[in-house]
A and B are shown apart, each in its own frame.
Chain A
Amino acid sequence: MTEGSPTFARLDALLDQVLELREEERAAFLAGLSEAEREGLERLMQPRDGILLSELAARVNETLAGAGETDEGTHAGRWRLHKQLGSGGMGQVFYATRVEPGVVDPAEPDTSSGSEVVAAPSTVGEYQQRAAIKILWSQTADAEVKARFFRERRILASLDHPGLARFLDGGFLADGRPWFAMEYVDGEDVVTHAQTLTLRERIALFVEVCRTVSHAHERLIVHRDIKPQNVLVDSQGRSRLLDFGVATVLAEVDDGVVTRTQGSPLTLQYASPEQVSGNLVSVASDVYQLGLLLYEMLTGHPPRNLADMSLNEAIGVILNEDISGPGTSNAAVAADLDAITMMALSQDPDRRYPSVSAFSDDLQRFLADQPVMAVRQSHWYVTRRFIRRNAGIVSVSVALALGLSLATAVSLRLASEARAQAERSAAAQQILTDVFQNADPFGGSGANLSLAEALVRAQPAIEQRVAADPELAFEVQKNLAEIYSSLGLVEEEQRAFQAVVQVAPRLDERADYAHLLGIAGVGGTYARTNPQQAADYFAEHLPARPDGEDQVTLWLDAQYSYVGALNRLRQHGRADEETDAMTQVVQQYEVNEPRIRSRLSQLHAGVARRAGNQALEVQHWRDAVAYARDAGNPSALAVMLNNRAIQLGRMGRFTESEQRFLEAIAIFEDAEHRGPTLGNVLRSYAGLQFRDRRIADAIATSEQALQLLDAKSQVYARFVAELNLALYLFADQAPSRALQVVVAGVSNARASFPDDSGVPDRMLRVFAKLLVFGSASDLAAHALHLEVDCNEQEVADVLERLEASEERPARAALWDDLAALSVADPDRQMLDEFVKRYREEAPPFFDALDRWRVLERLRTYETGSGLPLPPDLIAAHGSLAALRSSFSEHVSAQRDVLASIADDFRGSVEANSCRAGVVE
């Protein structure tokens, strides 16, 4: 406005008046104003591209919703733009088709001969008639954005791989915005596509994506934005990796290895922890994002949904929360595959696969049924940790082969204990080094071997080398046992401990100690696999007391395993005696080690429970947990928390119980402590959920537990977990799935348990009941009955509820269970009464089967107490004959399965009747 022009207020007031007037009145009004006022008003009211408030309101919403306008219909070089495919941080992407030669828009000259431009390939095939064209969002874009745009163009032009959308053409629009054209991929995203494929096909497709990413990595290009939307699958089923918009070229960075995120936009849902934290980003970030992609391809959904979280929450989750394996949400995903995915998804980039090709190699090993690098809790990582702890014994070359730096290996060696020990260790180390070099487990054709396999293969050579030197043999076997233990190879561990026992008498010093070490080790392996064998072994080999102070801890540990085995066998009388012996030793040697005090409190709690002294039991559990906290050993603490949780569950205090379970689970879910023990905790936790009537949760938790319970080293726990799962499934009205689980369980039990362990019997018995009955109440009673740590009071409580039940089988089950409990009771009258009541209620099939079992139990009891065997075992045999004939009539659909059970029973019964016959 020029000088002398009217003020805003004046003009505004005039404007207000003008707007009140009709169109034809305005001229007269304006004529009455000064020239400056009139000009001012006319200028204000002239038609122009100003701001329309209605548009502004719409635009405000658009700003927030991100709805942009398009350049549809315009031209980019020889391409005509059609619909917008998407928009991102740098610009928009359009679908485009090639314009016939000669009809190039004259308003937009082809600039493909310009300096920035790479000419289109000379061979333009049919498929190149379509393109995806990316246009920078503004010609006035910031220099850095421009640079990034051209970097993407350059990167694309430098790559040539069938798994990539090829670079076709590039240039500038009339308004100066740069663009480039890529091969247009008409397809669906890889996750959607994967849902139509089998598991193996999915993995094969993923391996193909890995090859493409590897191709880029070989050219030092890190993609940094791998996500489902950027991996499309075309109609021929081939994958294409798109969008190198945030890719970076490692060679452009000073150190040539890593780069920082540099504030570039990233997709939070698919960001790696180091991208979010602003730490160094390397190929490991692509490995992580590929891990997320694999996870989603396998399960159909991302491992976690961050969409409903605030930015800070989402970042917190990415940085702090471990992802659980895809297997937990898709049961078809095998444990190895689970381990592979989890290795790629490690929080710590160092724990991931060192390269994308290592990742895809492992997947191919999986497809070929070869051992994978990332087994379970990553044996490689466990092994690395083991080597860090025992650097003195494991060779530097092995350490290097496993990816430790020389400095780490050497400094750890220097830090190792006493000198004499070091000398012996050095010799042992030399042997392992030689063996490993000869076995060449990490190079050449041996590259596919896991460490476990390599060790097992090298074992004979190792033994040969140390045969002449007992000291060395002891040292090596002891360490091998520990390695095998950390690798979960129970049989090998046991063999190594046996070797320790054998070599012990030949040692000059501490022969007794070495002997006890071996005994404890062997017994320990039995304790994990077969309680009966463990009890027998300890009874025979473990001395009644430690022989000298240096053996106290070792002895106490072994004794603890012994008591545990006895308790599992429900030989509580013997268990309590051995607990007393343990208590005496602790008192005599004034052992204050919290770990041991914790275990002792745990045992005492069991004694108190059986004595019915709940107050004392609670006190002992509290002590057990408190000592475990003092011990500073998270695993031990978690075990005690688990036990305390079980006890609280028994008392019906579900909420408190759950808290402790969750604390224990949290400890074990930490990668350092992950493993079979977590499986056991989850198994118990499932029991709580079941009792709390959260059946679906109980099923999910059981499935998780089973994945963690190794079929070899955790046979017994696995067996119980399978039974429980079957029961939960039955209670959840899913009898066919329950049946599947039991069938699998029966075959596992047959394969894993010795015939004399009694375990397959138990499995089969439950199975038979599942087939015949199937009422949730009956099953609930049995779920409790089968819990390893089941106690009388608890079963009695449930049974009390069942007694009121209208169901005859349920009532029969009640007497059955009471009879079972009475077997341990010296008072035969109780047992007889229960068996009698039970027979009255039980249908014939049930009767025969369970009467046989009760009598079988009776026999066990009387054998143990030295009393004569019951004469009515023969009668039981007769009942079983009837049982056998009733099998085939009972459930025709399951005839085959039942027949096989009948066979099993026939075998057992014949064996029993033979034994009975001898006595008579």
Chain B
Amino acid sequence: MHEGEAHEVTRLLQQYSAGDVRSLDRVVSLVYADMQQLARQQLRRSEVGQRVQTTVLVHEAYEKLVDGKVAEVNDRRHFFAIAARAMRQIVVDTYRADNAAKRGGGRFAVTFTSHDFGDLENPEHIVLTHQALETLAEHSPELAELVDLSCFAGLDTGQIAQLTETNLRTVQRKLKRAELWLSHFFESQA
């Protein structure tokens, strides 16, 4: 990412904080491409079977994109929320792309030997979870964001508490709520 783009991310984040909701989409698209690239890089660096740490990815993306220029706590929170959303999208797209490759679809599909985006125990699980999360977000964007931060940005409850300026216990309770709701939506769409 160029320096100009880092500025752009910072600017968009500020606009978003100031209430410009449309700027969010643009940040997500900027973040998405970069995080996907980071994910691929990390995959290629990693040994066979080693897990990709979403936490590391999101932090790398943060370092790279925001370049230490976002000091405001609010912007940091927004950034992580966006990065987590982007991460979720990457996971889902990865699954879909992988699935598409298995179908032999697409003009040209590539798998990377031994360290590729491979099979899942139950691949549909991810997609259904994604849909459940989208439903949850319709009802409570806050809970959905917490799930993203926890599962897709890989932040622990302590980090989330710090980022969202809430106490640890509240975070834990909210996550429990989110978990119950997700299971509920997941079940009702299955």
A interface residues (Cβ-Cβ under 8 A, vs B): 8-9, 12, 15-16, 19-20, 43-45, 48, 50-53, 56-57, 59-69, 87-92, 137-138, 141-142, 144-145, 148, 227, 229, 261-269, 276, 278, 307-308, 310-311
Q: How far is the CA of A48 from the CA of B179 in the complex (A)?
A: 12
Residue from the set A59, A65, A90 with the largest chain B CB neighbour count within 10 Å? A65
- The contact of B54 among A64, A138, A310, A311, by CB within 8 Å, is A64
- The contact of B173 among A20, A44, A141, by CB within 8 Å, is A20
B113, A63: Cβ atoms under 8 Å?
no
Beta-carbon nearest neighbor of A266 in chain B = B110
B113, A267: Cβ atoms under 8 Å?
yes
Given contacts A53-B150, A310-B40, whether A137 and B112 have CB atoms under 8 Å apart is no
B109, A263: Cβ atoms under 8 Å?
yes
Q: How far is the CA of A65 from the CA of B44 in the complex (A)?
A: 10
Given contacts A68-B119, A264-B104, A265-B109, whether A51 and B129 have CB atoms under 8 Å apart is yes
| Contact sample, A vs B, 10 pairs, CB 8 Å cutoff | A43-B184, A62-B120, A64-B51, A64-B52, A64-B54, A89-B101, A89-B102, A137-B119, A263-B107, A268-B110
- The contact of A60 among B91, B121, B179, by CB within 8 Å, is B91
| A142 neighbours in B (Cβ, 8 Å) | 99, 102-105
Given contacts A12-B181, A61-B53, A65-B43, whether A53 and B121 have CB atoms under 8 Å apart is no
B181, A65: Cβ atoms under 8 Å?
no
Beta-carbon nearest neighbor of A264 in chain B = B104
A53, B154: Cβ atoms under 8 Å?
no
Size of B's binding interface in residues, CB under 8 A: 66
Beta-carbon nearest neighbor of A7 in chain B = B139
Q: How far is the CA of A859 from the CA of B150 in the complex (A)?
A: 90
Q: How far is the CA of A57 from the CA of B146 in the complex (A)?
A: 12
CB distance from B40 to the nearest CB of A (A): 7
B104, A144: Cβ atoms under 8 Å?
yes
Given contacts A53-B178, A67-B118, A266-B110, whether A16 and B152 have CB atoms under 8 Å apart is no
Q: Mark B141-178, 1 if CB is under 8 A from A, else 0.
A: 00100010011101000000000000000000111111
| B39 neighbours in A (Cβ, 8 Å) | 64
B108, A44: Cβ atoms under 8 Å?
no
| B129 neighbours in A (Cβ, 8 Å) | 51, 56
B interface residues (Cβ-Cβ under 8 A, vs A): 37, 39-40, 43-44, 46, 49-54, 87-88, 90-91, 94-95, 99, 101-113, 115-121, 123, 125-126, 129, 132, 139-140, 143, 147, 150-152, 154, 173-184, 186-187
A61, B108: Cβ atoms under 8 Å?
no
Question: For the complex, would chain B's binding face be called helix, strand, loop or mixed by DSSP majority?
Answer: helix
A15, B177: Cβ atoms under 8 Å?
yes
CB distance from A149 to the nearest CB of B (A): 10
A89, B51: Cβ atoms under 8 Å?
no
Residue from the set B104, B117, B123, B139 with the largest chain A CB neighbour count within 10 Å? B104
Residue from the set A51, A68, A148, A307 with the largest chain B CB neighbour count within 10 Å? A51
| B106 neighbours in A (Cβ, 8 Å) | 263
B179, A52: Cβ atoms under 8 Å?
yes
CB distance from A743 to the nearest CB of B (A): 45
Residue from the set A66, A138, A144, A266 with the largest chain B CB neighbour count within 10 Å? A66
CB distance from B19 to the nearest CB of A (A): 23
B139, A8: Cβ atoms under 8 Å?
yes
B183, A51: Cβ atoms under 8 Å?
yes
B177, A12: Cβ atoms under 8 Å?
yes
- The contact of A87 among B112, B115, B118, by CB within 8 Å, is B118
Q: How far is the CA of A60 from the CA of B37 in the complex (A)?
A: 17
| B111 neighbours in A (Cβ, 8 Å) | 88-89, 265-267
| A69 neighbours in B (Cβ, 8 Å) | 121
| A91 neighbours in B (Cβ, 8 Å) | 119
Beta-carbon nearest neighbor of A140 in chain B = B124
Beta-carbon nearest neighbor of A45 in chain B = B180
| A262 neighbours in B (Cβ, 8 Å) | 104
Known: A12-B181, A269-B113. 11 other contacts (CB 8 A): A12-B177, A51-B129, A53-B179, A61-B52, A61-B54, A66-B116, A67-B51, A87-B118, A145-B104, A229-B113, A307-B44
